[in-house]
């Protein structure tokens, strides 16, 4: 890395890649000064129109059509990897070998073997001063982070139960084109896509999962048509009359037992009509409960047992503001009650990553991103769910 600036690239120009690109563009405008200048260098995607459009839209100097071009570029120091899961290992290992810092999207890889190899590569790269991190973006939602602090502090008593759902509808159309998202075998569908998010959120409250039980995987639409053109993200497009089998799950559900006590119930779907992006959960403790719904991310709900007068009892709504995580300085207008959403989490994530790469003090309220070992643990948890489902719901320990 140059002493004077940080050169940034994003591999993957799809929906999540655009979120990373926009986040790097905004990162220097949050939490005040401290970073060296950030140069937005390149967005790479095998589909050139997508790469070119994203580079123009977010102010990157150029676009590339191969990830190898990013590996070989001397003017790039930091790279986000936002492509199909089965491509992560090869790209990340090459980037680290080339001396670049890496922020990889979740899940870490397509298999446990690949994930373990990536952890080893990251550990070796750390000895050369390189930073390799995974983005667990929802942990940077102000409401989720606040409730995590609230529960772990013991103010609501001892943790008892986590009940969470993450419902999406991007695969509701049975005639939507087949893509990499529908390939890979049991557990690589909705479970890996959105279940990865919900599972680490559950561990924010309950701690490490000890065992999984009652795992279920269901494929609602067993075949999908072949596309006639490029498939970009969750978008549709023209399709042929020829169909291919869907290899993974549209819906998944499971129960967990947390190592420190307490249980959890989690369900995810990519075929939930009317729910484009519904992440919601409730946490129950011995002295109260708390809930969050990402459709209203600027507020949380808390109920404290025996708090206040009986005739005023019930759930209270807390409007988020500068007293809560990430808010003050993280939003351009950081007054109470202003809008906050999923895109902001990517900005907070990017700023924390750049702070760590630059070796500057962390900005206020920005813990470092999770390391690859955390990403491997998340995959082991999801693997336990898959094995439970294949064994008829049997209990499976999480290593």
Go through the domains of the chain in sequence order and give each one's CATH number. 6-137+350-368 (3.40.50.720), 142-338+378-390 (3.30.360.10)
Query: How are beta strands 370-371 and 38-44 bridged, if at all?
Result: unpaired
Helix (H, G, I), strand (E, B) or coil at 275: coil
Contact residues for 48 (Cβ-Cβ < 8 A; gap 6+): 63, 65
pTM of the model: 0.95
pLDDT tens per residue, range 188-236: 999 999 999 999 999 999 999 999 999 999 999 999 999 987 777 676 7
Burial class of residue 125 in the structure, from the number of CB atoms within 10 Å of its CB (0-12 exposed, 13-18 middle, 19+ buried): buried
Contact residues for 35 (Cβ-Cβ < 8 A; gap 6+): 6, 27, 28, 351, 354, 355, 358, 360
Contact residues for 113 (Cβ-Cβ < 8 A; gap 6+): none
What's the distance, CA 211 to chain centroid?
22
pLDDT tens per residue, range 271-285: 999 999 999 999 999
Q: Which mean pLDDT values do the consecutive 10-residue runs of the chain (399 residues) have?
A: 83 96 96 93 96 98 98 98 97 98 97 98 98 96 97 96 98 94 96 98 98 98 90 75 96 98 98 98 97 97 82 86 95 92 97 96 89 98 98 97
Angle between helices 372-390 and 112-126 in degrees, nearest 10:
170
């Amino acid at each position: 890395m140059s002493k004077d600036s940080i050169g940034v690239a994003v591999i993957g120009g799809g929906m999540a890649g655009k979120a990373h690109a926009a986040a790097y563009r905004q990162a220097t405008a949050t939490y005040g000064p401290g970073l060296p200048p950030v140069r937005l260098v390149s967005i790479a995607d095998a589909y050139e129109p997508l790469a070119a459009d994203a580079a123009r839209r977010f102010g990157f100097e150029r676009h590339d059509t191969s990830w190898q071009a990013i590996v070989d570029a001397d003017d790039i120091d930091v790279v986000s990897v936002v492509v199909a899961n089965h491509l992560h290992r090869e790209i990340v290992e090459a980037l680290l070998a080339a001396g670049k810092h890496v922020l990889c999207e979740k899940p870490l890889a397509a298999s446990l073997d690949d994930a373990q190899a990536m952890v080893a590569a990251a550990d070796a790269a750390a000895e050369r001063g390189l930073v390799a991190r995974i983005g667990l973006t929802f942990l940077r939602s102000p409401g989720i982070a606040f409730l995590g602090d609230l529960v772990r502090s013991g103010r609501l008593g001892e943790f008892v139960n986590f009940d969470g759902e993450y419902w999406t509808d991007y695969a509701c159309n049975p005639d939507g084109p087949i893509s990499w998202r529908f390939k890979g075998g049991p557990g690589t569908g909705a479970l890996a896509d959105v279940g990865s998010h919900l599972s680490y959120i559950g561990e924010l409250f309950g701690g490490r999962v000890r065992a999984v039980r009652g795992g279920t995987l269901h494929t609602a639409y067993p075949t999908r048509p072949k596309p006639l053109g490029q498939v970009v993200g969750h978008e549709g497009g023209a399709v042929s009359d020829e169909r291919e089998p869907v290899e993974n799950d549209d819906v998944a559900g499971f129960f967990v037992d947390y190592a420190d006590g307490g249980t959890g119930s989690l369900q995810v779907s990519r075929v939930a009509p009317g729910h484009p992006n519904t992440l919601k959960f409730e946490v129950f403790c011995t002295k109260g409960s708390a809930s969050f719904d990402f459709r209203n991310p600027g507020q949380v709900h808390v109920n404290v047992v025996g708090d206040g007068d009986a005739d005023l009892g019930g759930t209270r709504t807390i409007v988020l503001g500068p007293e809560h995580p990430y808010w003050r300085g993280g939003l351009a207008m950081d007054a109470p009650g202003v809008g906050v959403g999923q895109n902001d989490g990517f900005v907070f994530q990017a700023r924390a990553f750049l702070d760590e790469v630059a070796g500057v003090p962390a900005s206020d309220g920005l813990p470092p991103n999770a390391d690859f070992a955390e990403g491997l643990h998340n995959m082991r948890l999801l693997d336990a769910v898959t094995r439970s489902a294949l064994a008829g719901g049997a209990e499976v320990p999480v290593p």
